[in-house]
């Protein structure tokens, strides 16, 4: 019985730690991107990139030793968090797999514009 209790405590601890890592700003940005895609299914990568910039999300520098530029500033957060959230919610925009893949291509293109 104590083994089950220990496993339960570990699971609860992991759930609490996982929930504390949520980024409310990333959630809000993803929500706005989903809203944009619902209202304008053909929204351009530029429009998506503009929302990412509005929330101060940028690309993570490929080399951490690189000097910071405007898009790689210490303040700019990794847009990958937002894209992961958006990807998990694309079914709200279009249930067809092909359409979701096309939307993700535009979102990736938007990240490249940052």
Alpha-carbon Rg of the chain, whole angstroms?
17
Q: 22-75, pLDDT tens digit by residue?
A: 788 899 999 999 999 999 989 999 999 999 999 998 876 555 555 444 444 444
pLDDT score of 6 more than 90:
no
Q: pTM here?
A: 0.69
75 compared with 106, residue with greater pLDDT:
106
* pLDDT range class, residue 14, cuts 50, 70, 90: confident
Q: 75-105, pLDDT tens digit by residue?
A: 457 888 898 899 999 988 888 999 999 999 9
Pseudo-torsion of CA 83, 89, 91, 96, nearest 10°?
10
Q: Which residue has the tokens 């925009």?
A: 93
At 46, is the secondary structure helix, strand, or coil?
helix
At 35, is the secondary structure helix, strand, or coil?
helix
pLDDT score of 18 more than 50:
yes
For 58, phi then psi, to 5°, come to -140, 180
Cα distance between residue 22 and residue 81, in whole Å: 9
């Amino acid at each position: 019985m104590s083994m089950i209790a220990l496993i339960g405590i570990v699971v609860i601890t992991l759930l609490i730690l996982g929930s504390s890592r949520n980024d409310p700003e990333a959630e809000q940005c993803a929500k706005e991107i989903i809203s944009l895609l619902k209202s304008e299914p053909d929204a351009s990568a530029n429009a998506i990139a503009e929302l990412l910039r509005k929330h101060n999300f940028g690309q993570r520098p490929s080399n951490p030793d690189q000097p910071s530029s405007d898009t790689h500033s210490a303040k700019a957060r990794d847009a990958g968090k937002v894209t992961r959230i958006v990807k998990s919610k694309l079914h709200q925009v279009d249930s067809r797999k092909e359409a979701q893949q096309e939307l993700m291509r535009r979102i990736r293109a938007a990240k490249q514009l940052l």
